[in-house]
Chains A and B, each alone.
Chain A
Amino acid sequence: MQERLKELQEEAIQRIEQSASLKELNDIRVAYLGKKGPITEVLRGMGKLSAEERPVMGALANEVREAIAVKLETKQKGLEEAAVLEKLASESIDVTLPGRPVKVGNHHPLTRIIEEIEDLFIGMGYQVAEGPEVEQDYYNFEALNLPKGHPARDMQDSFYITDEILMRTHTSPVQARTMEKHQGKGPIKIICPGKVYRRDNDDATHSHQFMQIEGLVVGENIRMSDLKGTLEIFAKKMFGEDREIRLRPSFFPFTEPSVEMDISCKICGGKGCSVCKQTGWIEILGAGMVHPNVLEMAGYDSKKYTGFAFGMGPERIAMLKYGVDDIRHFYTNDVRFLKQFSKHE
């Protein structure tokens, strides 16, 4: 009996070792350990044994079952692992094939520039003010110290709809409206982006519709030096920390004194090149101290309040920043142009 059990153990272990599939293994399990298996059969014959031999044989039979079970388990694990490896091997793919494209659009370059400028000034405590694109002559000109018949109105040939209503030629009327709304009280700190219109023929450098961003600060002690400091922060954040600024006197009817701001040319580092017309400087914006007539017309006491204002063209800034050579690109909306402005800088 003892020998029969040993025999069975050896036989089973040999068959387990030779088995090649999980199914085969399962058959072996059923064959040796099942209720109708040979070990069970051997145990049935235990009745014939003496009371001393019975527990010994019982223990031995359990030992043999245990040994086969352990072997089965080990072999099963081995086979399973092999199966997984085989499956993985068959699943291998070409990782160099392109991924499934995700269609994503992006901001128009002018929006990108405008939002960048907005955020920069929001960080300095400004609010974003907007106003109508069709304006009254009063807000577009008269409230800005440009009475009817003023020679500087020549500088801005405008799209009139009636004698009193026109397409705004700058975003300055938003400033006039904001000041009027504040009823002579400060402080005001706003930035005004928007579309403006002039009677120009469209060509590489002119567009009858374009964008403008203007800023206005009014308060009790606003100085020219504050304007200079503000513009310097703007220029360095927008164009790079290494850029210098300079102010040149200029003339705008709504500011006095008036200046234009240049930044040092990035291309030549100030030595002079074709981009900066050999001057080393590039004109970026116009600015100045708010003209007392403008303050007074909006209800401010110009003895008490002062202010500064500045204005710039997002197209010009985009053209300088990204090297765009024709203003018409911004309004043609060629996707080959638009999609170039998706990346972070």
Chain B
Amino acid sequence: MFVSYKWLEDYIDLTGVTAAELAEKITKSGIEVEGVEILNEGIKGVVVGHVLERVQHPNADKLSKCLVDVGEDQPVQIICGAPNVAQGQKVAVAKAGAVLPGNFKIKRAKLRGEESNGMICSLTELGMEGKVVPKEYSEGIFVFPADAEVGVDALALLNRDDEVLELSLTPNRADCLSMLGVAYEVAAILGREVKLPETNLEPAAEKASDYVKIVVEAKEDNPLYVAKLIKNVKIGPSPLWMQTRLMSAGIRPHNNVVDITNYILLEYGQPLHAFDYERLGSKEILVRRAVDGEKFITLDDTERTLTSEHLVITNGVEPVALAGVMGGANSEVSSDTTTVLLESAYFSGGTVRKASKDHGLRSEASARFEKGVDPKRVRAAGERAAYLMAMYAGGEVLEGAAEADTLTIEPAVVSITLEKINRVLGTELVMADVKDIFNRLQFPVSIEGDLITVTAPTRRGDIRIEEDLVEEVARLYGYDNIPMTLPIGSSTPGNLSDYQKKRREVRQYLEGAGLYQAVTYSLTSEDKATQFALEQRDTIRLAMPMSEERSVLRLSIMPQLLEVLKYNSARQNDSLAVYETGAVFLANGVDSLPVEKEHLAGAITGLMLNNSWQGEKKAVDFYVVKGILEGMFAKLGLTERVQYVQAQVEGMHPGRTAEILLGSEKIGFVGQVHPNVQKELDLKDTYVFELSLKAVLEANAPVLQYEAIPRFPSITRDIALVVNRETVSGTLREIILTAGAPLLKEVHVFDLYEGDKMEEGKKSIAFSLKYLAPERTLTDEEVTKVHERVLDALKEKAGAVLRG
């Protein structure tokens, strides 16, 4: 809502309060003022001039040579390029030395050999927006009414010596979508009176109700319809002050009748519609729901197909307006209109919202109906419009109005105690403070003991419950004046859950291992959504996505992390490690929420180690990434329960990928991205993992218990085994651990040889075995006995023989 400071002064005395101060006060008490525009800022030296003579420029087809009286001793010669300049016009002249918006300085100049002492201005040249300039002046200069006084400040005449406050209104404050509403708000803030506009006219002989009968069928959608009749109207331009006020509020002037309806829209917040009475073709207005499939041409010459959810105004037979949204071409006011039927009605918000949405016709009018107009202003707005039509369109207003009224107005009556106000706000207000605030708001108030009873005016439909009153008191008392305290009463322990703590540890650990945390989008394309998914489910699609790229919920994080690597690789960062923790979404039937599982994914590409001057370089490989995971599981106390099993995962290298098992549950995978995928993404060798973080963090770690540091020495035996190439170390390790229990405490691989010294199809793998008894020193004989058992088992179960 744009609020002209000068216009607001019609309703309230603003003495001693500048526009900027007013903006600050309004903001502080509840309605954000986004900005204050000084309309004539940066403009000077523009006066009203009288074009005494206009002749064709001798050397240029499109220019005119004008002799203009600018109120000085001698008229001046000005060259003008506007097509509509003519002798006898009163125009806005930027004299030599004037400054126009954008610090555009007007100088004496010669144009095609002819002297020019200034410039005749269009409205856009004076800083007005093209979309609000009246159509007849949109391609040329603006022409003042003939009675404009020569030499006076043209900007003052255009009401540009004004400032406009831009209010940003929240949905609850629709009352301030009108100048009167703003006036009440400002009155409450300043503690001043509101002056209401003039509406009184001499009574006419004829009655409106003799001209038209109102019948409303859809009473719920339209509980009040008021029609005023104005005869002998002469269509023409509206007065300049009205046009300029409309323009300042962002509305383009058309003619006096239309401008008056728009003026009332701004002044009262009540949308009106003017019909050409003669063109209605009947003496009846019938308001009803449209019939499904009914056709109607709106005044923008577009044929609309209506449904039974749309409300129409008809002449008893066919629609003449889509209620609250737009009039019909068949009854539009035109230059030969003489009798106007002026509609002022209360339409329900839902009806108007449905129609404006269905037909894409959102307007200043529909927005006000949608948010709810003040039912008590419907008649007053009609009276005021009729009054203005009598004043500025030469009309004769008929007595009374034709009406259909089933509207019951029940103002909200809300009671609250002083104690409650103070208890909610933490203040120590006394009754007089609170009473004064409601008086300033002009809310009728009665007080009985501690109880305050307020009757909310109908213009403030947002006041319904106690808390609304608390808010009114708080904002007008001032939030600055509310003290600062902290909650008292029973205290609560502040902490993270175990899950949240462990998640933080995992993040810290991975970052310590060199991975950067990424955050990517949950929405992705249909294709990517299922790639690398741990569980294949139906995809979950948005009903109305903004793009195909972001239309489906992800089932895995990996595709997005690979995108991150690709993005960075293309920008000279081809060695990079990233991870992400976040939800993936598993469909769970159409009517249920999906199962959201927190996943952890990581991706490492290029070099892990790159120490340029020492010449050490090491590309990431499977064991680097596996090592990172092993470290994480060790930190979480899960080492003993995690297993890696060779596996095939789509999109992954068939020989370098393992499934990760936690106990017997498959929780994820680790491995190299398939070389084809790497090539597609233009990545170096890339190793990745994705797993269910939820499963990992919810797994109970064993209780942490101190284990005695061994007091007796251990005995270590190293063995090099020859086995078939397919035999994996994990199998051998299991055999060794089982056969060596309980004395065997540790076993680890310390060498692997697959070179050409080996027999075809064989490899050598070396283990180091550590034997230990906690309570005594082991003897060689004891160890040898167990060790032999281990070797036997290896031979029997894996065909492993000692390397000779």
Contacts and interface: CB of A to CB of B under 8 A. Distances in A.
Interface stretch (B63-71, B95-103, B169-177, B741-749): B169-177
B702 interface: no
B729 interface: no
Instruction: Give the one of B29, B467, B488, B564 with max A CB within 10 A.
Output: B467
Interface string B579-591: 1001101000011
B467 A291 contact: yes
Interface in A21-62: none
A178 interface: no
A19 B170 CA distance: 100
B705 interface: no
A125 B486 CA distance: 12
Given A104-B511, A128-B500, A151 B485 contact: no
B494 A121 contact: yes
A248 interface: yes
A225 B568 contact: no
A269 interface: no
B522 A209 contact: yes
Contact of B543 (A103, A160, A332): A160
A104 B474 contact: no
B596 A134 contact: yes
Contacts of B576: 335
Interface string A221-254: 1111110111011000000000000111111000
B516 A229 contact: no
Nearest to B542: A159
Given A159-B542, A187-B492, A249 B519 contact: no
B591 A229 contact: no
B467 A108 contact: no
A247 B28 CA distance: 8
A249 B479 contact: yes
A128 B497 contact: yes
Interface stretch (A8-16, A94-102, A319-327): A94-102
B294 to A, nearest CB: 24
Contact of A223 (B350, B426, B500, B544): B426
B474 A221 contact: no
Interface stretch (B400-408, B607-615, B771-779): B607-615
Interface in B154-202: 170-173
B487 A230 contact: yes
A165 B593 contact: yes
Contact of A97 (B485, B490, B613, B616): B613
Interface string A165-180: 1010000000000000
Contacts of A108: 516-519
A256 B567 contact: no
Interface in A68-107: 97-98, 100-101, 103-107
B423 interface: yes
Interface residues of A, number: 86
Interface string B515-529: 111111111000000
B507 A111 contact: yes
B316 interface: no
Contact of A331 (B30, B489, B520): B520
Nearest to A200: B546
A229 B593 contact: no
A28 to B, nearest CB: 44
Given A126-B492, A249-B471, A106 B550 contact: no
A164 B582 CA distance: 24
Given A127-B492, A127-B494, A160-B542, A105 B484 contact: no
A223 B568 CA distance: 50
Given A201-B546, A229-B484, A334 B479 contact: no
A279 B170 CA distance: 20
Interface residues of B, number: 95
A338 interface: yes
A217 B487 contact: yes
A103 B577 contact: yes
A214 interface: no
A189 interface: yes
Contacts of B471: 249, 256-258
Given A128-B497, A249-B29, A338 B522 contact: no
B303 interface: no
Nearest to A338: B516
A331 B550 CA distance: 13
Contacts of A209: 521-523
A331 B479 contact: no
Contacts of A225: 425-427, 482-485
Given A134-B596, A223-B426, A224-B482, A164 B591 contact: yes
A338 B484 contact: no
B690 interface: no
A125 B424 contact: no
A122 B490 CA distance: 16
B470 interface: yes
Contacts of B590: 162
Nearest to A232: B484
A208 interface: yes
Contacts of B543: 159-162
Nearest to B561: A333
A309 interface: no
A225 B488 CA distance: 11
B667 interface: no
A222 to B, nearest CB: 6
B573 A335 contact: yes
Contacts of A332: 567
B489 A160 contact: no
Contacts of A162: 543, 590-591
A188 B541 CA distance: 35
Nearest to B592: A165
B494 A132 contact: no
Given A127-B495, A136-B593, A251-B171, A160 B544 contact: yes
Contacts of B500: 128, 130
Interface string B441-467: 000000000000000000000000111
B684 interface: no
Contacts of B608: 103
A161 B511 contact: no
Instruction: Give the one of A135, A151, A154, A257 with max B CB within 10 A.
Output: A257
B32 interface: yes
B9 interface: no
A152 interface: yes
A344 B784 CA distance: 56
A228 B482 contact: yes
A204 interface: no
B514 interface: yes
A220 B486 CA distance: 13
A30 B557 CA distance: 78
B522 A126 contact: no
A300 interface: no
B552 to A, nearest CB: 10
A106 B511 contact: yes
Contacts of A149: 350
Nearest to A118: B496
B583 A226 contact: no
B335 to A, nearest CB: 38
Contact of A226 (B29, B171, B487, B591): B487
- What 7 A-B pairs have minimum CB-CB distances, sorted nearest first? A225-B426, A251-B170, A103-B514, A223-B426, A257-B471, A249-B30, A247-B479
5 contacts: A105-B515, A106-B517, A152-B171, A249-B30, A335-B576
Interface of A: 97-98, 100-101, 103-108, 110-111, 115, 118, 121-128, 130, 132-136, 149, 151-152, 154-155, 159-162, 164-165, 167, 187-189, 195, 197, 199, 201, 208-209, 217, 219-226, 228-230, 232-233, 246-251, 256-259, 289, 291-292, 306, 330-336, 338-339
Given A127-B494, A165-B593, A334-B568, 16 more contacts: A124-B494, A125-B491, A125-B493, A126-B492, A130-B500, A132-B593, A151-B371, A155-B171, A160-B543, A187-B490, A209-B523, A222-B487, A223-B424, A228-B484, A306-B424, A331-B519
